[in-house]
Structure 1
């Protein structure tokens, strides 16, 4: 039990960082930015050293771009709010052809259609943990925001199970690793590239870089955590 408790105390800060990032990213991509969300981003960026930014050049570049945007734009103003709202709509919703569609299936099947085999595979992963998206039946399960929300929920479970014998936690970590490798990392790098290329503000260019940088870093973190609980 002593060894387990020691391992728990070692990994808790990392588990908390993972939870912060998945919360940050799911809120970025689940829906159009609200004023509360923009305040959340600004408050998160106030700290001199944004968490894990020094661990990945792409995260650092993204953070710097967003900070630069925030230093030049008042997020409390209606003009800036409307600009970011339109940017999100143009990139991820429509009505025009989307430059960076936020669904896994649009990147992984030749027809670029929704609700395909990829969507069902994501749904199967969700159902193992009784995760049912809020927009079930209306929004495809493989929407980026929902996939990030799923990882956020599993990250929450990791923290809750980080005080016993490591058995449940190891399975949670393995399932997150599998979901990253089989889903998010199969398409997000291309999505992120498209997003960065077509975004018109440093706010969303930066978000695209943080997204890609963190997911590649998180895979390494999960591998390290699995070694601890092997």
Structure 2
């Protein structure tokens, strides 16, 4: 995923509740989209329960589906969606969604932006940096200050609008509707609702 080599991680700082919720949602999406959930994570998912908002109902749905999903079934589903034989059902990369091809200009723009922020790819990760999980992880880190220093709302807005706003909602719509999606169908719904909220929030602040 992403790292900030050579810089100590900033000490934990208290975040406003709304900002912590944003970081938690980005972190949840990053974890579930980077690898299938193991037993401990499935157990945590089973305890999820949201409010009566569209996002909250999607969170509740994820908890209910997780309650009847085994570790083995989650791994099989993840593999069908994202790995497959040759390729999975979905290609969760910004370049693909924006240009129809992998490793195109959006990836180069992202790498330049990451370098400017002092964020580098972890050495043992071989996925291109425009993978949706990496982008969600970076957004979580920008909110919490996990990359060595706190980042401003302007930094967060610039990163989101440049690298997620134009395509992430479409990806999450595809994830919800994918033939193989069971556990990942409510993940797709969570992503759609959260991206919509983020887009509207940044638009209001403009």
CA contact (8 A) 2:81 2:89 kept: yes
Give deviations 1:131-190, integer Å, cap 9, x for gaps.
1122577210100110011001101129x98xxxxxx75xx2112112222221211122
Structural RMSD (CA): 2.8
**Structure 2: segments with no counterpart, 5+ residues:** 1-13
The structure that is helix-richer by fraction is 1
TM-score (norm 2): 0.80
- Other-structure match for 2:37: 33
Aligned length: 193
Structure 2 Cα separation of the partners of residues 36 and 197 of structure 1: 27
- The answer as to 2:59 corresponding to 1:63 is yes
- Other-structure match for 2:142: 154
Structure 1 Cα separation of the partners of residues 113 and 167 of structure 2: 17
Q: What is the 5 A alignment of 1:100-111?
A: 100-110=90-100
| Max Rg structure | 1
- Other-structure match for 2:76: 86
SS in 1 for 2:121: coil
Distance 1:127-1:63 versus aligned 2 partners, 3 A rule: same
Q: 1:122 aligns with which of 102, 106, 110?
A: 110
- The answer as to 2:200 corresponding to 1:216 is no
Structure 2 Cα separation of the partners of residues 40 and 221 of structure 1: 28
TM-score (norm 1): 0.73
- Other-structure match for 1:203: 183
- Other-structure match for 2:16: 12
Distance 1:135-1:37 versus aligned 2 partners, 3 A rule: farther
**Structure 1: segments with no counterpart, 5+ residues:** 1-8, 162-167
CA contact (8 A) 2:176 2:185 kept: yes
CA contact (8 A) 1:66 1:202 kept: no
CA contact (8 A) 1:27 1:37 kept: no
SS in 1 for 2:183: helix
Give deviations 1:164-223, integer Å, cap 9, x for gaps.
xxxx75xx2112112222221211122112211114444210000101111221234456
Structure 2 Cα separation of the partners of residues 60 and 177 of structure 1: 23
Structure 2 Cα separation of the partners of residues 136 and 220 of structure 1: 36
CA contact (8 A) 2:169 2:196 kept: no
